[in-house]
Amino acid sequence: MRITDIISKKRDSLELTKEELDYFVGEVVHNNVPDYQISAFLMATYLNGMTADEASNLTNAMVETGEVLDIEGVSKISFDKHSTGGVGDKITLILVPIIASLGIPVVKMSGRGLGITGGTLDKLESIPGFNIHLSNEEILKQSKDVGAVICAQTSCLAPSDKIFYELRDVTATIDSIPLIASSIISKKLAIKNKALIIDLKVGKGAFMKNVEDARKLANLMKDIAVKHGRECKILLSDMDSPIGYTVGNSLEVIEAIEVLDGISNSTSYEITKSIAVEVLGLLKNISKMDAERMVDETISSGKAFEKFKELVKSQGGDISYIEDTSKFNLSKIAVKVKAESSGYVYYDALKFGEISLISGAGREKKEDEIDYGAGIYFNKTNGEKVESGDILFTIYSNRDKNEILKEIEGSYKISESIIEEKIIYEVI
């Protein structure tokens, strides 16, 4: 079997066998395939697509060439969650302690932010001392002792995905549905648990711009997950507007804390609650009404908040910041933007992702440093009634104020009437 034969077969729109995909991925992991051949394979796949069986076999090969972390050894009802990322997406920070406080262990391996998409790991590292790098043994111990882990993916899990992703990023092959599906699901299957929930973002601030394309990706991901023995639900959620009332790292942690402590009831909580309801339905066969009540109660009782503090403490984070959010240092420059007319304000997720990036809260290249205190606080939330002169939002930054002001144009609109918006489009 030759690598060139596999590439030419995919170039000619022919279906690759399981054996061919196993061989190709295995050779990639063992560094026996040069970048130019991997890139050729990725482009051929981008142009010609894959059948559902091909995508499933590719995913399986990516899993089997690495280690598998068996969370089912800790609990038979464990689950994992994935989000395709977005602007202001701090759902993981809220969801993990909620579900763990209800007796369902969660091991969530997350990533860093790149471009306009924020990263959960960056947010957590804004808490002094928080350790994102755990060994498999530490992960299993914490999942047993605490029931909740949020950490970086270990290099041994689906190692081919890192190779593929870095080349997709520089070869214009990111937006391939089978490659996206195999990337996401391989990392999830590398953690052996009972169920998987995926929050698939749709809209201006997401890589899936419309529901139709998002539905195609969702169906493929679910098909692969089910074929590999996972119960799976996928939510299509809105990303036309930023989630909640903060964008940034420290700012989003503060919002997550306020939601968990029962102080805030933002759209962040609405999305989290929808996901939590699906988890409880999948794993414990609990009705939607009862599940909603359970989620609300674990917030109002303080159990979810205590679980978050337990998670932070277990991973070395300074609990005092969780108990007193004023200890987080926000960037020194605060640019306040006021409404020039009255009406209902609506924010553009893509534009505010770019503002967050310019402010220093994000990174354009993976090696860039970020400013944990930079970001945006929405004094008026999306869809809220405003009066002329009201402060709409505040941008925190340590960078040039004039550069930031340039990005504000076109980032929001004030409508005379309420615009109907959906938070969750559908559940697949």
Structure confidence at residue 410 (pLDDT): 93
pLDDT in tens, 188-215: 999 888 889 999 999 998 889 999 999 9
pLDDT tier at 76 (50, 70, 90 boundaries)? confident
The active-site residue out of 10, 81, 123, 168 is: 168
The active-site residue out of 10, 81, 82, 188 is: 82
Contact between residue 63 and residue 158 where contact means Cβ atoms under 8 Å apart? yes
pLDDT in tens, 254-305: 999 999 999 988 899 999 999 999 999 999 999 999 999 999 999 999 999 9
The active-site residue out of 10, 108, 123, 187 is: 187
Structure confidence at residue 114 (pLDDT): 66
Structure confidence at residue 401 (pLDDT): 87
Q: Provide the residue ranges of all domains of the chain, joining segments of one domain with +.
A: 3-49, 69-154+172-181+190-323, 328-415
pLDDT higher than threshold 80 for residue 155: no
Structure confidence at residue 166 (pLDDT): 85
Contact between residue 305 and residue 97 where contact means Cβ atoms under 8 Å apart? yes
State yes or no: is 240 an active-site residue.
Answer: no
Structure confidence at residue 109 (pLDDT): 86
State yes or no: is 30 an active-site residue.
Answer: no
State yes or no: is 300 an active-site residue.
Answer: no
Q: Which fold has domain 69-154+172-181+190-323?
A: Pyrimidine Nucleoside Phosphorylase; Chain A, domain 2 (3.40.1030)
pLDDT in tens, 22-55: 999 999 999 999 999 999 999 999 999 999 999 9
State yes or no: is 241 an active-site residue.
Answer: no
pLDDT higher than threshold 90 for residue 93: yes
Confirm whether pTM is higher than 0.75.
yes
At 118, the amino acid letter reads G
**CATH code that applies to domain 328-415:** 3.90.1170.30
Query: How far are the Cα atoms of 131, 279, 303, 337 from residue 104, in angstroms, in the given order?
Result: 22, 9, 13, 43
Q: Which fold has domain 3-49?
A: 1.20.970
State yes or no: is 168 an active-site residue.
Answer: yes
The active-site residue out of 183, 266, 331, 359 is: 183
User: In percent, how much of the chain has pLDDT > 70?
Assistant: 100
Q: What is the mean pLDDT of residues 333-343?
A: 96
The active-site residue out of 80, 89, 161, 238 is: 161
164, two tokens? 């593929």
